[in-house]
């Protein structure tokens, strides 16, 4: 049985393309219902809001229509084993103003919402002859690729829009650490920063944000970075629901602490994979590559575990990574 609050799966590394409007949505989403039919499992729509480990029961939130009317009441599902694959979202680190004044692209809905605002601000810039100021906080893969993809979207708009010209854009990428793409080799980080700067994207490292308001970001240095569109793509934290899993032991960002076999350190009936899992003995970076390998590991060994045999330790094999800078990789 699969439980998910969405009816479709979207590959998270594509979210920056949805946000920029450069991806074709129908070709990049997979229906859970069609997958259930094809692979013979049950699909239950709904957001998990609590887990009662003593009763081995999970609670799903009610589902409402766009007008807020309840169409499906809150439900409870019993389980024997749970595999948690909730992923992660950006971490605002409780910095004042982030939650209120920043846009996020943690999921498909947020990405589409950002794209709507991005298009409106493009039109406003055309109409008023004012610069379009965009600042992205977080120089990881998501923030870096989003910066390049937004630049690509504006290039496309200048070719095919009714104005046939490109608005003046001031696009900044802010990273708190000493370099962007910190999970990549330093040579890749340097090359990416150089390429972004070639297309007039301002790359700021060691730029720590102290607060955010409707006009932009205030840095700890005292400098202000003005921005009409403010995107927060920094940090990683697990969805809050893991804190309602019956006191399950969690890491500092809400990740479920698991053994090397991906089994919870406290509850043998709970496993976790991907960004929401923290392997105590051998932590791995929260990447799509690691999540895929962990899912494959459990899928391969879970039938034997059900029959009473142990699941071997998970070992991550780094097969390299790709960062796409729009059409500007050079």
Q: Are residues 111 and 178 in the same domain?
A: yes
Domain boundary among 169, 203, 232: 232
Question: What's this model's pTM, rounded to 2 decimal places?
Answer: 0.89
Please check whether residue 322 is in contact with residue 302, taking contact to mean a CB–CB distance below 8 angstroms.
Answer: no
Q: So what's the pLDDT on residue 166?
A: 66
Q: Are residues 62 and 14 in the same domain?
A: yes
Full domain range(s) for residue 160: 98-232
CA distance 309 to 159: 61
160: pLDDT strictly greater than 60: no
Domain boundary among 171, 199, 232: 232
CA distance 181 to 199: 18
Q: Are residues 48 and 22 in the same domain?
A: yes
- Greater confidence (179 vs 29) lies with 179
| DSSP H or E run through 35 | helix 32-39
> Within a domain: residue 155?
yes
> Within a domain: residue 296?
yes
Q: Are residues 102 and 201 in the same domain?
A: yes
> Within a domain: residue 318?
no
- Greater confidence (128 vs 80) lies with 80
> Within a domain: residue 329?
no
Q: Are residues 23 and 54 in the same domain?
A: yes
212: pLDDT strictly greater than 60: yes
CA distance 44 to 7: 9
State percent of the chain over pLDDT 70. Answer: 95
Q: Are residues 107 and 138 in the same domain?
A: yes
Mean predicted confidence (pLDDT) in 200-210: 97
DSSP-assigned letters across all residues of 183-219: TS-HHHHHHHHHHHHHTTEEEESS--EEEEETTEEEE
Q: So what's the pLDDT on residue 29?
A: 80
> Within a domain: residue 324?
no
- Residue 279 structure tokens: 């392997």
Q: Are residues 143 and 22 in the same domain?
A: no
From residue 198, alpha-carbon distances to 149, 192, 248 in Å are 14, 10, 48
The total number of structural domains in the chain stands at: 2
> Within a domain: residue 220?
yes
Q: Are residues 46 and 20 in the same domain?
A: yes
Model confidence at 248, pLDDT cuts 50, 70, 90, reads very high
From residue 53, alpha-carbon distances to 75, 175, 247, 281, 298 in Å are 16, 40, 9, 24, 21
Q: Are residues 279 and 163 in the same domain?
A: no
Which CATH number do you get for residue 266? 3.50.50.60
Domain boundary among 232, 264, 279: 232
Output DSSP code: residue 162.
Answer: T
Q: Are residues 26 and 48 in the same domain?
A: yes
Residue 202: CB atoms within 10 Å: 14
Residue listed under structure tokens 């809050």: 240
Q: Are residues 36 and 72 in the same domain?
A: yes
161: pLDDT strictly greater than 80: no
Helix, coil or strand: residue 270? strand
Q: At what angle do helices 108-128 and 141-160 cross, to 10 degrees?
A: 40
Q: So what's the pLDDT on residue 148?
A: 95
Please check whether residue 289 is in contact with residue 319, taking contact to mean a CB–CB distance below 8 angstroms.
Answer: yes
> Within a domain: residue 325?
no
From residue 202, alpha-carbon distances to 81, 146, 197, 207, 224 in Å are 48, 13, 6, 12, 14
The contacts of residue 265 (CB under 8 Å, 6+ apart) are: 249, 257, 258, 259, 280
- Residue 249 structure tokens: 């032991």
Q: So what's the pLDDT on residue 128?
A: 83
Q: Are residues 141 and 85 in the same domain?
A: no
> Within a domain: residue 315?
no
330: pLDDT strictly greater than 60: no
Residue 160: CB atoms within 10 Å: 7
Q: What is the pLDDT of residues 75-103, one digit of tens each?
A: 999 999 999 999 999 999 999 999 999 99
DSSP-assigned letters across all residues of 95-129: -TTHHHH-B--SSHHHHHHHHHHHHHHHHHHHHHT
Residue 198: CB atoms within 10 Å: 10
């Amino acid at each position: 049985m699969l439980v998910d609050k969405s009816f479709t799966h979207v590959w998270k590394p594509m979210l920056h393309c949805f946000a920029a409007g450069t991806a074709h949505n129908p070709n990049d989403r997979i229906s859970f219902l069609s997958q259930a039919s094809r692979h013979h499992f049950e699909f239950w729509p709904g957001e998990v809001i609590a887990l009662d480990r003593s009763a081995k029961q999970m609670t799903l939130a009610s589902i409402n229509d766009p007008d807020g009317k309840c169409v499906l009441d809150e439900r409870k599902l019993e389980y024997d084993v749970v595999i948690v694959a909730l992923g992660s979202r950006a971490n605002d680190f409780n910095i004042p103003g982030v939650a209120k004044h920043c846009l996020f692209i943690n999921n498909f809905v947020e990405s589409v919402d950002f794209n709507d605002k991005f298009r409106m601000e493009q039109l406003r810039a055309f109409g008023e002859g004012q610069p379009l100021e965009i600042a992205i906080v977080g120089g990881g893969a998501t923030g870096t690729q989003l910066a390049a993809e937004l630049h690509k979207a504006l290039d496309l708009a200048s070719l095919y829009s009714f104005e046939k010209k490109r608005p003046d854009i001031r696009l900044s990428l802010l990273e708190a650490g000493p370099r962007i793409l910190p999970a990549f080799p330093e040579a890749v980080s340097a090359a990416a920063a150089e390429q972004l700067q070639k297309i007039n994207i301002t790359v700021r490292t060691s730029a720590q944000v102290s607060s955010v308001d409707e006009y932009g970001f205030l840095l700890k240095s005292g400098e202000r970075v003005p921005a009409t569109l403010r995107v927060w793509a920094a940090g990683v934290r697990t969805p809050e629901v893991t804190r309602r899993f019956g006191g399950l032991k969690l890491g500092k960002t809400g990740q479920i602490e698991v053994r090397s076999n991906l089994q919870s350190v406290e509850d043998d009936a709970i496993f976790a994979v991907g960004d929401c899992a923290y392997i105590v003995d051998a932590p791995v970076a929260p990447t799509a590559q690691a999540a895929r390998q962990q899912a494959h590991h459990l899928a391969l060994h879970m039938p034997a575990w059900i029959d009473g045999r142990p699941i071997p330790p998970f070992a991550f094999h780094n097969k390299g990574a790709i960062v796409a800078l729009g059409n500007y990789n050079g």
